[in-house]
């Protein structure tokens, strides 16, 4: 198939890379040249644009999502048509899908699984309140942004309950791993069907796998009709009876026994999260963020320490900031320009096309820990700019994760003085799996806390030992580039061997 990468839609959106493809459309990462920001564009396949059913379905998706403005729904920015091919412009979510995360990590922590289930449920609750049923809830359709928060997308087969005369039959579209019994049977579906599918997603987060396998999609769908899900507590013994009961009620085949609506479900998921967190005495990843949003009634289930530790530490940290000394990158003077030798015998580091490495002197890396003791192995910081993959900077050890220590993150930044418009960053690590947001700050002294004074320019999960992130500074030049680590993944510390910035080669 010919690629459309490089094309411009309606003179405004430049298609930069294909990031996904489905039966009826292709998803591109694109650049909005008017607003100078990255976007995601879903473009209907040419063959589909003459099919009035498909065209209507595509338009319906845009209309449905455009009604929703919700922190856990991937928002629609614009729609248009280019040479008779309709497209939808979405906000771009940097990061991985929930499916990728499960594939990468296997089972997720119990509290994190509940936290994602709550966020997805909140998104579905908002859709249902607008009479929109998603009908294709699956972890492939949940994007995790760099802060770790879940955003639901692909309302492609969503159907407004107010639309009459459209087929709502059980056309098999993609996977049936998450299909509700009533949908598999081709019955009319409503919001309760999304609750069943979300239950299957929760099961997969907790066990690392979907409940049913089969020779084909029909066989799997029939198991959803006929068989009970395997016992969650047998597969994951640390799951509480409360969580197991919530899961059972989400996936009950009998609609009279399943949760009637999302608000009832959310209340029970929130209780279950508080109970799991109280049992383990700590919280991980996204669970920490969701716990802060729990209603007071539910928070009371948590031990005092968990309810109060975060704000209290925040106040203490703010006092600390008054005397914080961040980054005095003292007189580096004239350092002879380094010769780019690359690392290892005969190996020259590749740079993204049209870019060159930003040359920074030794001494230009600084650890950054504004909410902690301001010490993250400072003596090792310069190892990330020494062009030696064998030497690393490590964060302190966080047994209960960064959030467990009451911090939003820890990091390390590069002083690219005087200033530069970096278009990409390379982070090398012997231990991938952590999550980082890249911030930039202008000339002057580096800001004393995050996000004050910093501008987010990129980030995501460091999935590979040699991870690159595109940066979008909106055309501005910045002096400081901060790798702000917000989640350590499976580990209790993060380790970085090299950080390198790239700038465009002047034409």
Q: Is the four-CA dihedral 330, 336, 342, 344 of positive or negative sign?
A: negative
Burial (Cβ within 10 Å: 0-12, 13-18, ≥19) of residue 336: exposed
Closest among 369, 465, 350, 474 to 423, alpha carbons compared: 474
Q: Where does this chain touch ligand 3AM (CB under 6 A) — which range of 19-27, 386-394, 418-426, 491-499?
A: 19-27
Closest among 468, 491, 359 to 416, alpha carbons compared: 359
Segment 133-152, which members bind ligand 3AM (CB under 6 A)? Answer: 143
431 is an annotated ligand-binding site residue: no
- Please answer whether residues 376 and 392 qualify as being in contact, where contact means their C-beta atoms are separated by less than 8 angstroms: no
Comparison of 19 and 505: residue with beta carbon closer to ligand 3AM: 19
Q: Which of 25, 49, 97, 183 binds ligand 3AM (CB under 6 A)?
A: 97
Q: Where does this chain touch ligand 3AM (CB under 6 A) — which range of 57-65, 89-97, 131-139, 361-369?
A: 89-97
Closest among 94, 93, 88, 75 to 13, alpha carbons compared: 88
Active site residue 194: no
Quick check: 102 binds ligand 3AM (CB under 6 A)? no
One-letter-per-residue 3-state SS of 353-375: CCEEECCCCCCCEEEECCCCCCC
Query: 119 is written with which tokens?
Result: 């966020």
Give the CA distances from residue 473 to residues 12, 162, 454, in Å, rounded to whole numbers and listed in that order: 19, 43, 11
Vertex 272 angle, CA 271 and 276, to 5°: 120
Comparison of 462 and 499: residue with beta carbon closer to ligand 3AM: 462
What is the CA 232 to chain-centroid distance, rounded?
A: 26
In the complex, least distance from residue 102 CB atom to ligand 3AM, rounded to whole angstroms: 12
Contacts of 108 (CB under 8 A, 6+ apart): 101, 102, 116, 205, 206
CA atoms lying within 13 Å on the CB side of residue 119: 28
Following DSSP, what letter does each residue of 116-182 receive, concatenated?
HHHHHHHHHHHHHHTTEE-S---GGGEEE-TTS-EEE---TT-EETT--SS--S----S--TT--HH
In the complex, least distance from residue 74 CB atom to ligand 3AM, rounded to whole angstroms: 5
Q: Which of 13, 58, 87, 90 binds ligand 3AM (CB under 6 A)?
A: 90
Comparison of 17 and 264: residue with beta carbon closer to ligand 3AM: 17
Segment 150-189, which members bind ligand 3AM (CB under 6 A)? Answer: 153
Quick check: 218 binds ligand 3AM (CB under 6 A)? no
Omega before 451 cis (within 30°)? yes
Q: How far apart are alpha carbons 73 and 428 in whole angstroms?
A: 32
Comparison of 197 and 366: residue with beta carbon closer to ligand 3AM: 197
- Please answer whether residues 221 and 185 qualify as being in contact, where contact means their C-beta atoms are separated by less than 8 angstroms: no
Q: Where does this chain touch ligand 3AM (CB under 6 A) — which range of 85-93, 253-261, 333-341, 469-477?
A: 85-93
Comparison of 30 and 329: residue with beta carbon closer to ligand 3AM: 30
In the complex, least distance from residue 154 CB atom to ligand 3AM, rounded to whole angstroms: 7
Beta bridge partners of 356: 503
In the complex, least distance from residue 7 CB atom to ligand 3AM, rounded to whole angstroms: 18
3-class DSSP state for residue 221? helix
Segment 20-79, which members bind ligand 3AM (CB under 6 A)? Answer: 20, 27, 40, 74
Q: Which of 93, 220, 266, 501 binds ligand 3AM (CB under 6 A)?
A: 93
Beta bridge partners of 142: 152
- Residues binding ligand 3AM: number (CB under 6 A): 12
Map residues 433-452 to x or -, x wherever contact with ligand 3AM holds by CB under 6 A. --------------------
In the complex, least distance from residue 196 CB atom to ligand 3AM, rounded to whole angstroms: 22
Q: Would you give the DSSP letter of residue 3? A: -
Q: Where does this chain touch ligand 3AM (CB under 6 A) — which range of 91-99, 292-300, 309-317, 333-341?
A: 91-99
In the complex, least distance from residue 110 CB atom to ligand 3AM, rounded to whole angstroms: 24
Q: Which of 19, 219, 316, 505 binds ligand 3AM (CB under 6 A)?
A: 19
- Please answer whether residues 144 and 150 qualify as being in contact, where contact means their C-beta atoms are separated by less than 8 angstroms: yes
Q: How far apart are alpha carbons 483 and 205 in whole angstroms?
A: 28
Comparison of 20 and 453: residue with beta carbon closer to ligand 3AM: 20
Comparison of 382 and 461: residue with beta carbon closer to ligand 3AM: 461
Comparison of 89 and 482: residue with beta carbon closer to ligand 3AM: 89
Quick check: 92 binds ligand 3AM (CB under 6 A)? yes
Q: Where does this chain touch ligand 3AM (CB under 6 A) — which range of 8-16, 59-67, 90-98, 204-212?
A: 90-98
Of 136, 177, 252, 271, the active-site residue reads: 136
In the complex, least distance from residue 204 CB atom to ligand 3AM, rounded to whole angstroms: 15
Annotated catalytic residues are 136
Site residues (vs ligand 3AM, CB under 6 A): 19-20, 27, 40, 74, 90, 92-93, 97, 100, 143, 153
Binding site feature residues for ATP: 42
């Amino acid at each position: 198939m010919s690629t459309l990468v490089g094309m411009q839609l309606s003179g405004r959106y430049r298609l930069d890379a294909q990031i996904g493809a489905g039966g009826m459309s292709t998803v591109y990462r694109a650049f909005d040249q008017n607003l100078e920001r990255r976007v995601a564009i879903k473009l209907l396949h040419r063959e589909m644009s003459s099919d009035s059913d498909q065209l209507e379905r595509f338009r319906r998706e845009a209309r449905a999502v455009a009604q929703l403005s919700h922190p856990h729904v991937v928002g629609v920015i614009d729609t248009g048509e280019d040479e008779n091919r309709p497209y939808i412009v979405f906000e771009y979510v940097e990061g991985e899908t929930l499916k990728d995360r499960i594939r990468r990590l296997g089972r997720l922590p119990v509290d994190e699984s509940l936290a994602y289930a709550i966020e997805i449920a909140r998104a579905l609750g908002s859709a249902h309140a607008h009479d929109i049923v998603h009908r294709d809830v699956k972890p492939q359709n949940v994007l995790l942004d760099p802060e770790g928060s879940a955003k639901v997308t692909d309302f492609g087969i969503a159907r407004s309950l107010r639309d009459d005369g459209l087929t709502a039959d059980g056309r098999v579209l993609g996977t049936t791993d998450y299909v509700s019994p009533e949908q598999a049977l081709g019955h009319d579906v409503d919001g309760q069907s999304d609750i069943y599918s979300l239950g299957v997603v929760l099961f997969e987060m907790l066990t690392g796998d979907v409940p049913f396998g089969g020779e084909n999609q029909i066989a799997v769908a029939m198991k959803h009709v006929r068989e009970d899900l395997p016992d969650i507590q047998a597969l994951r013994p640390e799951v509480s009876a409360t969580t197991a009961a919530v899961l059972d009620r989400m996936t009950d085949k009998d609609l009279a026994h399943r949760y009637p609506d999302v608000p009832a479900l959310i209340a029970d998921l929130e209780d279950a999260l508080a109970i799991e967190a109280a049992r383990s005495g700590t919280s991980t990843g996204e669970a920490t963020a969701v716990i802060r949003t729990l209603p007071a009634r539910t928070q009371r289930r948590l031990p005092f320490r968990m309810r109060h530790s975060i704000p209290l530490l925040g106040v203490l940290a703010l006092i600390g900031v008054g005397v914080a000394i961040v980054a005095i990158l003292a007189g580096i003077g004239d350092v002879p320009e380094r010769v780019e030798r690359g690392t290892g015998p005969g190996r020259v580091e590749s740079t993204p096309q049209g870019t060159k490495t930003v040359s920074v002197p030794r001494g230009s890396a600084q650890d950054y820990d504004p909410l902690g003791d301001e010490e993250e192995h400072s003596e090792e910081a310069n190892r990330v700019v020494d062009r030696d993959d064998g030497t690393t900077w490590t964060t302190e050890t966080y047994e209960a994760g960064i959030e467990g220590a009451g911090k939003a993150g820890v990091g390390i930044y590069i002083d690219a003085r005087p200033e530069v418009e970096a278009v990409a960053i390379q982070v090398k690590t012997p231990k991938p799996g952590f999550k980082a947001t890249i911030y930039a700050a202008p000339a002057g002294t580096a800001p004393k806390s995050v996000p004050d004074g910093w501008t987010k320019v990129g980030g995501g999960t460091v999935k590979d030992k040699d991870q690159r992130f595109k940066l979008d500074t909106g055309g501005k030049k910045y002096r400081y580039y901060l790798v702000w680590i917000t989640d350590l993944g499976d580990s209790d510390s993060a380790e970085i061997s090299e950080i390198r910035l790239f700038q465009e080669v002047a034409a």
